[in-house]
């Protein structure tokens, strides 16, 4: 079960015997024309025993291979996310849980998963009556308080946001409806600067009212809501909203009465992360058709809904959600990490009208960006109908978020170079002999660390073509038995490269550089967890 809904599925093609398989889901469906090969054949006259007759004409049509599609998914991050999602599904049995990791700068989807899911090799999980929908692009839903991020941005951009003005958070009347805060009593008299960290519904009713209908409409349009993102996955939904009613406009301030897709949320979030520049989500980098024609999918800017100053202010408010004692995201704080985030809780619409009753019928979500000073990653998680309620939804989501974000931050720290630092381009080592790969890395003043007993390289981190500091460690995985290297003196980011390449479980404790490991160097890496202890040097 590896990004099953994103990669997709093929089935027997009953309508064209020359093309035995047809894509029916995900990338397999979206790029079916480029991926489909054509059967070949050979015909000749033969006798009753199958021997070709003398001078019989032979007609041959060679088979034609299909093309290739290269995705943006990072296989190690994807596998790690799948493990985290599977653990939550098994333990808490919610209606659904999803997770996406996006490169904030390029829009590349690095990992994307959902539960329930299916095994494409056996079809298990796609029994009759189960959903064939990719929740990330085909499902629309009311997102809840995550929308406050974009409404705040719109208010700041329009010049109507009054951070130092106080308001009564106990309730606000709109037409004949009185709206209360999520805790039912409010927080007393508080400034609008605390509306986002506290996730005050009443505060955001005031904020969108102060924006006015025209600015509210402009904000939603500029951020791309109610429009397809254009991601290369089939059946992308549009979502939508209607601003004709005063109460609807008010509750839209905190993410109700508006339908969105997860890709729309992620796309809008890139504007916050990129100083106002919004980029399209991408799940493909390159497509090569059967004739060899190549189409490259590059970073695509799709708008500038806000200014850099507005984006910076919103990120500061999202920081407070994590760091202030009154913030709704204090559960998601990671010691020493600079993270900006927004939590969300939304009621789930009832198909018969209104909303499903009770706290179990809610959608809980988390939108996080890191490092907040210059976001490289955007993580978006959702948890629908936490029916067991044995553990609060925020704690359930944190069992995914905390290890995932910790790994992302460590990997980023290991790959980040300051402008003044001397960097080199990492050479390609995959498919080279161990001797040749090591020599090429040494020539670039890079440190080669080998995993396994083989003599040929099958994977490497950092990847070929990326920039790395001189003397940085490149971890090489060979084609032999997977064995544990001596990690003495390694940084946390280096050990996390090892975890990514091997797919094995590692527990990192302490700070500084690796000083001890629970598995002896040269031992086979099995299914158990390897503990690596770090210690600061003087």
CATH number at residue 334: 3.40.710.10
- Please write the tens of the pLDDT for every residue from 317-342: 999 999 999 999 999 998 888 999 99
Same domain as 81, residue 64? no
pLDDT of residue 130: 63
pLDDT of residue 126: 85
pLDDT of residue 415: 53
pLDDT of residue 537: 66
Same domain as 228, residue 165? yes
Same domain as 523, residue 508? yes
Q: How far apart are CA 221 and CA 154, in angstroms?
A: 11
pLDDT of residue 125: 87
Same domain as 182, residue 101? yes
The count of structural domains within the chain is 3
Q: How far apart are CA 242 and CA 238, in angstroms?
A: 13
pLDDT of residue 352: 87
Q: How far apart are CA 217 and CA 242, in angstroms?
A: 9
pLDDT of residue 389: 67
Residue-by-residue DSSP string for 488-513: TT--HHHHHHHHHHH---EEEEESSE
Q: How far apart are CA 63 and CA 70, in angstroms?
A: 23
Same domain as 360, residue 473? no
Q: Is 106 left (phi over 0), alpha (psi -120 to 50) or beta?
A: alpha
Is 170 an annotated catalytic residue? no
Tell me which of 69, 87, 112 is where a domain ends.
Answer: 69
Q: Which of 145, 169, 193, 493 is catalytic?
A: 145
**521: CATH:** 3.30.10.20
Same domain as 149, residue 46? no
pLDDT of residue 418: 41
Average pLDDT for the chain: 92
Same domain as 222, residue 361? yes
Distance in Å from the first CA to the final CA of the chain: 46
Tell me which of 386, 415, 444 is where a domain ends.
Answer: 415
Residue-by-residue DSSP string for 169-184: TT-EEETTEEE--TTS
Same domain as 304, residue 162? yes
Q: How far apart are CA 444 and CA 423, in angstroms?
A: 10
Same domain as 349, residue 253? yes
CA distances from 477 to 22, 90, 161, 435, 483 (A): 35, 31, 53, 13, 10
Tell me which of 381, 415, 449 is where a domain ends.
Answer: 415
3-class secondary structure, 486: coil
| Domain region containing 47 | 4-69
Same domain as 257, residue 233? yes
Low-confidence ranges of the chain (pLDDT < 70): 128-130, 389, 413-422, 537-538
Same domain as 38, residue 90? no
Same domain as 461, residue 366? no
């Amino acid at each position: 079960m590896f990004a099953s809904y994103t990669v997709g599925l093929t089935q027997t093609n009953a309508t064209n015997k020359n093309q035995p398989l047809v894509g029916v889901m995900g990338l397999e469906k979206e790029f079916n024309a480029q991926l489909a090969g054509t059967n070949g054949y050979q015909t000749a006259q033969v006798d009753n025993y199958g021997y070709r007759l003398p001078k019989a004409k032979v007609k041959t049509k060679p088979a034609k291979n299909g093309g290739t599609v290269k995705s943006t998914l990072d296989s190690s991050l994807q596998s790690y996310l799948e493990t985290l999602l599977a653990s939550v599904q098994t333990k808490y049995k919610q209606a659904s849980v999803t997770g996406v990791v996006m490169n904030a700068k390029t829009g590349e989807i690095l990992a994307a998963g959902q539960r329930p899911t299916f095994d494409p090799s056996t079809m298990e999980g796609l029994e009759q009556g189960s959903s064939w929908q990719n929740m990330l692009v085909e499902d629309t839903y009311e997102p809840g308080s995550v929308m406050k991020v974009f409404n705040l941005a719109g208010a700041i951009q329009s010049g109507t946001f009054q951070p130092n003005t106080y308001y009564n958070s106990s309730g606000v009347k709109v037409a004949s409806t009185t709206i209360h805060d999520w805790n039912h009593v409010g927080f007393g008299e508080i400034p609008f600067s605390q509306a986002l960290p506290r996730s005050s519904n009443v505060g955001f009713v005031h904020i969108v009212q102060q924006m006015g209908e025209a600015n509210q409409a402009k904000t939603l349009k500029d951020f791309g809501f109610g429009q397809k993102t254009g991601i290369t996955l089939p059946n992308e939904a549009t979502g939508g909203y209607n601003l004709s009613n005063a109460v609807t406009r008010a509750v839209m301030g905190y993410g109700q009465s508006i339908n969105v897709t997860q890709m729309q949320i992620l796309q809008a979030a890139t504007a916050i992360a990129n100083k106002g520049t919004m980029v399209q989500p991408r799940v493909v980098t390159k497509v090569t058709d059967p004739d060899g024609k190549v189409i490259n999918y590059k970073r695509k800017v799709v708008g500038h809904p806000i200014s850099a100053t507005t984006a910076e202010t919103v990120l500061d408010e999202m920081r407070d959600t994590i760091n202030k004692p009154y913030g709704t995201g204090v559960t998601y704080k990671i010691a020493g990490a600079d993270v900006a985030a927004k939590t969300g809780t939304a009621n789930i619409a009832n198909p018969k009208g209104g909303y499903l009753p009770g706290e179990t019928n809610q959608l809980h979500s988390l939108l996080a960006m890191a490092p907040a000073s210059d976001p490289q990653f955007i993580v978006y998680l959702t948890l629908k109908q936490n029916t067991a309620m044995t553990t609060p939804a925020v704690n359930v989501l944190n069992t995914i978020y905390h290890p995932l974000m910790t790994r992302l931050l460590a990997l980023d720290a290991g790959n980040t170079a300051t402008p003044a630092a001397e960097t080199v381009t990492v050479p390609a080592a995959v498919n080279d002999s161990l001797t040749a790969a090591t020599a090429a890395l040494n020539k670039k003043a890079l440190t080669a660390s080998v995993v396994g007993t083989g003599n040929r390289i099958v994977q490497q981190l950092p990847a070929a073509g990326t920039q790395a500091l001189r003397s940085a460690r490149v971890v090489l995985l060979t084609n032999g038995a997977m064995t544990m290297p001596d990690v003495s003196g390694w940084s946390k980011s280096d050990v996390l490269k090892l975890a990514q390449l091997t797919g094995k479980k590692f527990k990192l404790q302490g700070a500084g550089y690796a000083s001890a490991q629970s598995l002896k160097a040269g031992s086979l890496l099995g299914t158990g967890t390897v503990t690596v202890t770090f210690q600061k040097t003087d």
